[in-house]
């Protein structure tokens, strides 16, 4: 940790989420009566920046939003949550990103996104933030932005000896040049397969697929498994299963973002990888207990209480 607080820089996305709950997911052409409408800020990069700040980090976001009202939602959020936005660019070229989220009675979700201005976040934007990245403890990125932009974030982190974490969602095949810059990759089991060009439900053993990615240059893999916790495949070949925490699930939408930002904070604080994953698994579990993403991101007190609960 380079300062009194861990410094996390997120190169990522912002979108406003519109959430609705239904008793089940509709079939083609069907209209269902829903409930529990919620509108709030989202986008994986934004969620992770806010989550890191709540966990006590000095958090910064490199992103692009529109000059529309939804962009104002993001700016106001970051002021409220204490997220640094010196490298948040606003543009009139595209709309701010928006996502439509449907929840079923069990809290599982389906999501459709128009990423809008996020498509304009470029490697040049990342280059302008190089001094910030160089002074960070951990750099996080996602794939709701162009892969070449995420790749630049990972490359600058590597250049300056900063730990890089890539949350590869939404998943897509990636080239070896990007994968070789990643210190920690955090796919779920379907994303893991998509990264290798397989079908999301391909029956190939998870460990075998993970080792394929490591052979292409990824140092450490953390395969998240929802209620079953996470599988940690370390650079030295060690494999460890970190169990999940049992909670009453209300909404799983922000669980992956809570996991990733908590992982970044724990690594920035110097925790060993497996311990950092335990910390992150608790954050992901906590996020499932509340409706909406931002309200569900834990602060440090929430997370410490869950970690210490028996």
Return the DSSP state at 64.
E
CB 99 within 8 A of CB 111: yes
CB 19 within 8 A of CB 253: yes
Give the number of other CB atoms < 10 A from CB of residue 158: 16
Among 38, 137, 183, 257, the active-site one is 257
User: Is 302 designated active site?
Assistant: no
Helices 255-268 and 44-54 cross at an angle (nearest 10°) of 50
Given the DSSP bridges, would you call strands 230-233 and 220-224 parallel, antiparallel or unpaired? antiparallel
The C-alpha torsion from 66 through 71 and 72 to 73, rounded to 10°, is 180
Q: What residues form DSSP beta bridges with 63? A: 88
Measured CA to CA, the distance from residue 121 to residue 103 in angstroms comes to 29
Measured CA to CA, the distance from residue 13 to residue 157 in angstroms comes to 18
Give the number of other CB atoms < 10 A from CB of residue 226: 17
Measured CA to CA, the distance from residue 174 to residue 261 in angstroms comes to 22
Catalytic residues: 257
């Amino acid at each position: 940790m380079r300062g009194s607080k861990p410094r996390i820089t997120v190169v990522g996305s912002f979108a406003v989420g519109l959430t609705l709950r239904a008793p089940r997911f509709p079939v083609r052409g069907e209209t269902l009566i829903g409930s529990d409408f919620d509108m709030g800020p989202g986008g994986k990069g934004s969620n992770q920046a806010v989550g890191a700040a709540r966990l006590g980090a000095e958090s910064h976001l490199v992103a692009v939003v529109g000059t529309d009202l939804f962009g104002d939602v993001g700016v106001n959020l970051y002021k409220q949550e204490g997220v640094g936005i010196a490298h948040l660019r606003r543009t009139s070229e595209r709309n701010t990103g928006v996502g439509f989220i449907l929840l079923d009675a069990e809290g599982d979700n389906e999501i459709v996104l128009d990423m809008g201005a996020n498509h304009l976040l470029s490697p040049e934007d990342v280059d302008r933030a190089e001094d910030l990245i160089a002074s960070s403890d951990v750099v996080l990125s996602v794939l709701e932005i162009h892969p070449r932009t995420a790749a630049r974030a990972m490359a600058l982190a590597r250049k300056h000896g900063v730990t890089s974490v890539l949350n590869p969602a939404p998943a897509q095949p990636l080239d070896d040049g990007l994968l070789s810059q990643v210190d920690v990759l955090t796919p779920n089991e379907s994303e893991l397969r998509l990264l290798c060009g397989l079908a999301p439900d391909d029956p190939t053993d998870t460990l075998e697929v993970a080792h394929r990615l490591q052979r292409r240059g990824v140092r450490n893999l953390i395969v998240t498994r929802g209620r079953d916790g996470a599988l940690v495949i370390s650079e030295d070949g060690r494999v460890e299963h970190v169990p999940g925490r049992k909670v009453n699930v209300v909404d799983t939408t922000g669980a992956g973002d809570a996991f990733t930002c908590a992982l970044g904070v724990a690594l920035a604080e110097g925790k060993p990888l497996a311990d950092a994953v335990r910390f992150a698994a608790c954050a992901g579990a906590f996020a499932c207990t509340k409706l909406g993403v931002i309200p569900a991101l834990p602060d440090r007190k929430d997370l410490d209480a869950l970690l210490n609960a028996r």
